Amino acid sequence: MNDHALILVDIQNDFLPGGALAVPEGDLVIPVANRLMDDFPIIVATQDWHPADHGSFAGNHPGKQLFEVIDLNGLPQVLWPVHCVQGTSGADLAPGLQAERITKVFRKGTDPAIDSYSGLYDNGHRKSTGLAEWLREQGVNRVTVCGLATDYCVKFTALDALAEGFAVTLHLPASRGVNLTPGDVDKAVEEMRSKGVTIQE
Ligand SMILES: [Zn+2]
């Protein structure tokens, strides 16, 4: 089992019900994730960690609407409400999560010019967070990915891990999605499955 790591994606206050960018039932992943940690010797977490002037925030684009898709430095970008600003309680890992069991936290989305859904790379694949390299140094070759949100950060983390050569499992009971458009989560799961991610129902 020492070659198998658990990646907890963005289980942060702002993505829970009542948060700035609440994922429906996002809080329900916490007890499942806590139990899941028993099975993994290596547990990492990703943390969305934006500066206040981040380009993914609708408020930083006067005249644009929430959830509108714009071009941000050459990449399509959904405009989100302000969320997970560095140092705010919204950016904290969920208090119910047994964070003391997490080996290492990888922060993403720190560059105002580009968003980072994946825990491994920014959306343009320009810069690595160091997560893939770190996992390899630990001898990891399999990862189980879960958290928030299935149709964004969980999906892109899983697909990037797959592209990096890891065997990837998506743990569905410990994940929830946004479904900005109904069906987005199902589509994301099918895309992951078709590309080679094992889906744990
Ligand atoms: Zn974000």
* pLDDT (tens digit per residue) in 85-124: 999 999 999 999 999 999 999 999 999 999 999 999 999 9
Q: Which residues of 84-103 are buried (b: 16+ CB within 10 A; e: fewer)?
A: bbeeeebbebbeebeeeebe
Catalytic residue among 14, 153, 155, 160: 153
| Each residue's pLDDT tens digit, 41-93 | 999 999 999 999 999 999 999 999 999 999 999 999 999 999 999 999 999 99
Contact 138, 167 (CB under 8 A): no
CA-angle at 176, arms to 153 and 27, nearest 5°: 110
- Protein residues with C-beta less than 5 angstroms from the ion ligand 1: 48, 109
Confidence of residue 1 (pLDDT cuts 50, 70, 90): low
* Average of per-residue pLDDT values in the chain: 97
Q: Is residue 153 part of a domain?
A: yes
pLDDT of residue 2: 77
Tokens matching residue 86: 């560095």
State what percent of residues in the chain have pLDDT above 90. Answer: 99
Between the CA of 152 and the centroid of ligand 1 the distance, in Å, is 10
Rounded to the nearest 5 percent, the helix, strand and coil shares of the chain are: 30, 25, 45
Q: Is residue 90 part of a domain?
A: yes
Whether 75 is covered by a domain: the verdict is no
- Extract the runs of DSSP E, i.e. beta strands, from 109-149: 142-148
CA distances from 189 to 11, 53, 120, 154 (A): 19, 32, 19, 10
Identify whether 108 is a catalytic site residue.
yes
Domain membership flag for residue 25? yes
Q: Is 155 helix (H, G, I), strand (E, B) or coil?
A: helix
The domain tally of the chain equals 1
Strand, helix or coil for residue 86: coil
Q: Is 74 part of any domain?
A: no
Domain that holds residue 8: 4-50+84-200
State in Å: Cα 200 to ligand 1 middle.
26
Q: Is 153 among the catalytic positions?
A: yes
CATH number at 109 reads: 3.40.50.850
Q: Is the pLDDT of residue 36 over 80?
A: yes
In the reported structure, the alpha carbon of residue 150 is separated from the centroid of ligand 1 by a whole-number distance in angstroms of 14
Distance, CA of 157 to CA of 8 (rounded, Å): 10
Quick check: is 133 in a domain?
yes
